[in-house]
């Protein structure tokens, strides 16, 4: 693993992913120091208490919009996991410039700070909504992906390398539909936009494990996609709020019926492995092909979508995953 005796920094470190990432790295690995970078002092205070002032844990107040603060935070850092983002679709739609400043310009600031500070590896978290985006959130995450992949060109002979992981909805993460359904349960009625809707589904533990394994594997420039199950929205309702009355409110603006993790066009640059897909960069100068020998090319027209997935969660499996048992 890449964390032994390394200094690790996670942006957005007080979020759902950040909490679990910190917990996992401290419990299972041996970093020299683990830095939580975020802008919310109250969440940092609460997190500090939760981890009982762990001797290897440090907290930096800062915003990814502030390049100077990022450069200071990345001094002597070896590994960066970039999890900071505005991710609420409706909030990004109503505050488009703010979304761009955080998700796009913030990514640029992370990249430049990492290059200037001599960081070894940077892994950025992305989403299925970045594939053929229909809302601003997805568009900003697509831009962020492109920035991280293409910024390996800026690194050149330097040691800094950038890659991304891209996965679907995280079970019971902060602000997820699971929280919405549980809040609506009190009224006995839940709202569903369309009963045909499907989504990719991953647990926080699986997300963290995937990120850490990809950090070990990365050459720089890859987009890593895990093989994860899909679920139907009505099975989710049955798992979380069984017996509740369902009100169909219609599909919302910027929402898809189904999500895609690997598009048909990306499939031409993608190799399949037992547990993941690896989307390789389309660079003439990229030299990581030897690392990914043994991967299986995808068939013409392949598309990894939530509605055509070969792995599905039923209500019982969702209930177990979401902790409703």
Nearest CA-CA partner of 138 in 93, 171, 177: 93
* CB-count burial class (<10 Å; 0-12, 13-18, 19+) for 49: exposed
Residue 306 phi/psi, 5-degree rounding, is: -70, -25
Tokens of 109: 């600031």
Which listed residue (129, 141, 256, 276) is catalytic? 129
Tokens of 272: 């399949």
d(CA 132, CA 123): 22
d(CA 181, CA 201): 16
Q: Buried b vs exposed e over 274-286: b needs ≥16 C-beta within 10 Å?
A: eebbbbbbeeeeb
Strand pairing category for 169-170 and 198-202: parallel
Residue 190 phi/psi, 5-degree rounding, is: -120, 150
Strand pairing category for 121-127 and 161-167: parallel
Tokens of 43: 């969440």
Nearest CA-CA partner of 260 in 228, 222, 213: 228
Nearest CA-CA partner of 262 in 250, 270, 274, 253: 270
Query: Is 129 among the residues known to form the active site?
Result: yes
Catalytic residues: 129
């Amino acid at each position: 693993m890449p964390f032994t005796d390394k200094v690790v920094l996670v942006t957005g470190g007080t979020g759902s992913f950040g909490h679990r990432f910190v917990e996992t790295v401290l419990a299972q690995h041996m970093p020299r120091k683990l830095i939580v970078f975020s802008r919310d002092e109250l969440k940092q205070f609460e997190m500090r208490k939760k981890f009982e002032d762990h001797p290897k844990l440090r907290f930096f107040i800062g915003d990814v919009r502030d390049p100077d603060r990022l450069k200071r935070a990345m001094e002597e850092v070896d590994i960066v996991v970039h999890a900071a983002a505005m991710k609420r679709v409706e909030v990004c739609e109503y505050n488009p410039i703010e979304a761009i400043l955080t998700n796009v310009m913030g990514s640029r600031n992370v990249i430049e700070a990492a290059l200037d500070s001599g960081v070894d590896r940077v892994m950025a978290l992305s989403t299925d909504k970045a594939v053929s985006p229909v809302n601003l959130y997805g568009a900003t995450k697509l831009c962020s992906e492109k920035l991280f992949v293409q910024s390996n060109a800026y690194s050149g002979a330097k040691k800094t390398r950038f890659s991304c992981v891209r996965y679907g909805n995280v079970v019971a993460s902060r602000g997820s539909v699971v929280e919405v359904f549980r809040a609506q349960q009190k009224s006995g009625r839940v709202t569903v936009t369309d009963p045909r809707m499907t989504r990719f589904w991953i647990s926080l533990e699986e997300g963290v494990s995937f990120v850490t394994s990809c950090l070990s594997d990365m050459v720089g420039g890859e987009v890593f996609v895990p093989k994860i199950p899909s679920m139907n929205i009505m099975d989710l309702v049955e798992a979380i709020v069984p017996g509740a009355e369902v009100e169909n409110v219609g599909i919302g603006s910027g929402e898809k019926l189904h999500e895609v993790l690997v598009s048909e066009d990306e499939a031409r640059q993608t190799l399949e492995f037992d547990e993941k897909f690896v989307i390789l960069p389309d660079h003439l100068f990229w030299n990581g092909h030897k690392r990914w020998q043994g991967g299986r090319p995808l068939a013409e027209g392949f598309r990894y979508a939530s509605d055509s997935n070969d792995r599905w969660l039923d209500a019982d499996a969702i209930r177990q995953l979401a902790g409703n048992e």
